[in-house]
């Protein structure tokens, strides 16, 4: 059994969260917020939450590793966050499609409406819908979710990796700046 000193951590030591665990945590929060927004009916808001979540994952990763992060590390952090959010959302899609088969029917009907609105011929629409109904299972439905969120998250990560600063910027107020401003007046 260790002593009290063995159990206590030195104040100079810090616990660091691994990049994968950080992405899991942020991805879980993003997925929960997206589910909540979708349940309330704010589907477009859920996409905004997704993009903000990827950005937050990049910034949190930068903070965790000490304040400096390169482009590819930001890209990796963003993609991992998107992947874990997509994985959790795919689990919920699988569960909803398994327990309520009308979910898949609604997705197929929405795809049919989009094809008709785009001007596809009736024969092409009927053939595509028939093939969708044969292939669409809860596992395929969930797999589509994972692929979709990884693809969109990857594209968003490419863009956001350019926008998130490489370094954390600290602003320090110095007394001489205050004195210089006072002399100008």
User: How many C-beta atoms lie closer than 10 Å to residue 59's C-beta?
Assistant: 18
Contact between 94 and 75 under an 8 Å Cβ cutoff? The reply is: no
DSSP-assigned letters across all residues of 126-157? HHHHHHHHHH--HHHHHHHHHHHHHHHHHHHH
**Please, which pLDDT band fits residue 63 given cuts at 50, 70 and 90?**
confident
Q: Give the integer Cα–Cα distance in Å for 79 and 98.
A: 28
Mean pLDDT value of segment 63-89: 89
Q: At what angle do helices 43-64 and 138-163 cross, to 10 degrees?
A: 60
Per-residue pLDDT tens over the stretch 25-54 = 999 999 999 999 988 888 889 999 999 999
87-130 tens-digit pLDDT: 999 999 999 889 988 888 888 888 889 998 988 888 988 898 89
Q: Helix, strand or coil for residue 12?
A: coil
Q: pLDDT over 70 for what percent of the chain? A: 79
* Mean pLDDT of the 59-86 span: 88
**Average pLDDT in the chain:** 81
Domain ranges of the chain: 18-165
User: The tokens 């890209």 sit on which residue?
Assistant: 75
Predicted confidence at residue 162, as pLDDT, reads 86
Is the pLDDT at 179 greater than 80? The verdict is no
The pLDDT assigned to 5 comes to 46
Rounded CA-CA distance 145/27 in Å is: 14
Q: What are phi and psi of 167, to 5 degrees?
A: -115, 155
Q: How confident is the model at residue 152 (pLDDT cuts 50, 70, 90)?
A: very high
pTM above 0.75? no
Of the listed ranges 18-22, 88-92, 144-148, the least confidently predicted one is 18-22
pLDDT at 69: 81
What is the structure's pLDDT at 177? 52
* SS3 sequence of 40-107: HCCHHHHHHHHHHHHHHHHHHHHHHCCCECCHHHHHHHHHHHHHHHHHHHHHHHHHHHHHCCHHHHHH
CA atoms within 13 A on the CB side of 157: 23
* Structural contact between residues 141 and 93, judged by C-beta atoms closer than 8 angstroms: yes
């Amino acid at each position: 059994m260790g002593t009290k000193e063995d159990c206590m951590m030195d104040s100079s030591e810090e616990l660091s969260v691994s990049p994968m665990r950080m992405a899991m945590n942020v991805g879980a929060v993003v997925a929960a917020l997206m589910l909540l927004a979708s349940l309330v009916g704010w589907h477009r808001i859920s996409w905004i939450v997704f993009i903000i979540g990827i950005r937050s994952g990049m910034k949190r990763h930068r903070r965790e590793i000490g304040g400096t992060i390169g482009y590819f590390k930001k890209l990796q952090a963003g993609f991992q966050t998107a992947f874990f959010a997509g994985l959790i959302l795919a689990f919920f899609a699988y569960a909803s499609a398994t327990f309520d088969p009308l979910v898949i029917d609604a997705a197929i009907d929405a795809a049919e409406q989009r094809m008709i609105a785009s001007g596809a011929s009736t024969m092409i629409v009927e053939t595509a819908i028939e093939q969708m109904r044969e292939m669409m299972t809860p596992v395929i439905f969930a797999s589509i979710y994972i692929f979709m969120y990884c693809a969109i998250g990857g594209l968003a990560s490419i863009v956001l990796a350019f926008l998130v600063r490489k370094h954390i910027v600290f602003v320090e107020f110095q007394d001489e700046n205050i004195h210089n401003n006072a002399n100008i007046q």
